[in-house]
A and B are shown apart, each in its own frame.
Chain A
């Protein structure tokens, strides 16, 4: 396989870097379940999906979780496992949404799906792997509320930025651009 680095790779790398910054920043946010994250970085994943397709979205997600955790120093810790579970769940939900909804979903829909699946993935991983404590379920409504809130917020942000982002991408792709 021949690896060629093209313009799009740089742009994806740039998006990934942005996602990583958000990932690191949101690790400072307190959540009821230590180690779980609201999933703001999903903004970038959704943007990548809508601008560059689902392969790009997956790359951005994986890079975000891996590099982000290395930079924070949480690589291979429980927090990393939660982030990874959340990211995989989010990608699955977003991917399913993409494939099954005949492209009728917009940024808000993807963001909500991604955020809720992200939180569910983290919760499920925490319960199965770390804390098999029935009282954990009391946190689920709160965590899901955070997820829906942040999901809606990031979706609306992407929505608002979409025209400009699309214009930017179009310019980049134009021959001679």
Chain B
């Protein structure tokens, strides 16, 4: 018995040794792909974090950090759930001078400055109008659209960030119609903060994507991070791709993100402050810039501006990498953007390239 076992064992050693040799390539198979990707839910949306070249433990810590940063932004700036912002808005509506922290002051001052640069097309002060259209809720509004009289009343009030006086510790409004809603810039701002936090942890290669708005640093190993830009009317869902350089944010405003249909018409959540109605001249606008809050606000303003005014707004806001899909289905781009965008649909759409900005 003993001998048979030994003999069998000896006979098995050769195949086992060969197995070792053959298994070697299999063993190194897992090495090349070191992207750590995870998703979680916060800020009312799905957040996607990609990390490259970070071991599992550090990656888990990093994701926790991102989660904390975004939850904090949610707690402070949520437009309708009880937050610091709703507290501030209540005080402003009552005509009071509201005490704010230095951080909050900086955020609000930046929002005010962006609004001014965008010729008030990005207008975070029209919270009441957005609420009127039913978009201050996590549920999809059911319609009908608000009565014209209500819209006119709010338009007449001309709520604007210019009505606000902001210093390091207080904020005050001279117009009770002002209700601040930072929805058009919160993602950009939050994602930038999250990336800063990751940098502080020593992480060099990452993407933080909150509900589609993202900021990337570093690369995917040997190649740049590759981003797909969504456009829901096409089968593959992706209209174009772009390779990001280190430290770039991409933000898109689109009429397909939040909307409702009522009696055959579609109403989406990007309200044109001039008309009081959802904007109608563009389907979406995409902006690439190092400053995510700026890119986010600019995307909103440019989408509202449409084919007639978009270059003017882009120039004033200081963004030069812009792609806008007009309601006419044409793609309007700056030359800087045209150089880096690769269309992923065939045939490629009609492109109108502007002058350099």
Q: In the complex, what residues of A have CB within 8 A of residue B28's CB?
A: 127-128
**A34 at the A/B interface (Cβ < 8 Å)?**
no
Asked whether any CB of chain B lies closer than 8 Å to the CB of A87, the reply is: no
What B residues does A89 contact at CB under 8 A? 21
CA distance A97 to B14 in the complex (A): 4
Q: How far is the CB of A165 from chain B (nearest CB, A)?
A: 22
Is the CB of B24 closer than 8 A to any CB of chain A?
A: yes
Q: What bracket does the count of chain B residues touching chain A fall in?
A: 10 to 19
Q: Establish whether residues B22 and A120, one from each chain, have CB atoms under 8 Å apart when the complex forms.
A: yes
Q: Given the interface contacts A101-B10, A102-B7, does A123 sit within 8 Å of B25 by beta carbon?
A: yes
> Is A93 a contact partner of B17 (Cβ separation < 8 A)?
yes
- Contact of B10 with A100 in the complex, beta carbons under 8 Å: yes
A104 to B11, CA, bound (A): 7
Tell whether B15 is near chain A: CB-to-CB under 8 Å.
Answer: yes
Number of A-B contacts (CB under 8 A): 61
B103 at the binding interface (Cβ < 8 Å)? no
A168: chain B residues within 8 A (beta carbon): none
Flag whether B13 is at the interface (Cβ < 8 A): yes
A109→B14 contact, CB < 8 A: yes
Stretch of A41-49, A59-67, A75-83, A132-140 at the chain-chain interface:
A132-140
Q: Is the interface of B mostly helix, strand, loop or mixed?
A: helix
Q: Is the interface of A mostly helix, strand, loop or mixed?
A: helix
Interface: B18 (CB within 8 A)? yes
CB atoms of B24 and A124 under 8 A apart:
yes
| A interface residue count range (under 10 / 10 to 19 / 20 to 34 / 35 or more) | 20 to 34
Partner of A102, one of B10, B18, B22, B29: B10
B11 and A116 contact, CB distance less than 8 A: no
Decide yes or no whether A92 CB sits under 8 A from chain B: yes
- When C-beta atoms are compared, the residue in chain A nearest to B32 turns out to be A134
**Measured between C-beta atoms, what is the minimum distance from A177 to chain B in Å?**
33
Contacts of B10 in A (CB 8 A): 100-102, 104
* Pairwise interchain contact A127-B18, C-beta atoms closer than 8 A: no
Q: Are B14 and A96 in contact (CB under 8 A)?
A: yes
A117 touches B18 (CB 8 A): yes
With a cutoff of 8 Å between Cβ atoms, the chain A residues found around residue B328 in the complex are none
A71 within 8 A of B: no
Decide if B17 touches A96 in the complex (CB within 8 Å). yes
- In the complex, what's the smallest C-beta–C-beta distance from B287 to chain A, in angstroms? 33
CB pair A101–B14 under 8 Å, yes or no, is yes
A117 touches B21 (CB 8 A): yes
A100 engages B33 (CB within 8 Å): no
CB distance from A151 to the nearest CB of B (A): 11
In the bound complex, how far is the Cα of B166 from the Cα of A102, in angstroms?
89
Tell me if A107 counts as interface (CB < 8 A to partner B).
Answer: no
Given A104-B11, A132-B32, A124-B25 contact (CB < 8 Å): yes
**3 shortest interchain CB distances as A-B pairs:** A97-B14, A100-B13, A96-B17
Please list the residues of chain A having a beta carbon within 8 angstroms of any beta carbon in chain B. Answer: 89, 92-93, 96-98, 100-102, 104-105, 109, 113, 116-117, 120-121, 123-124, 127-128, 132, 134, 137, 140, 144
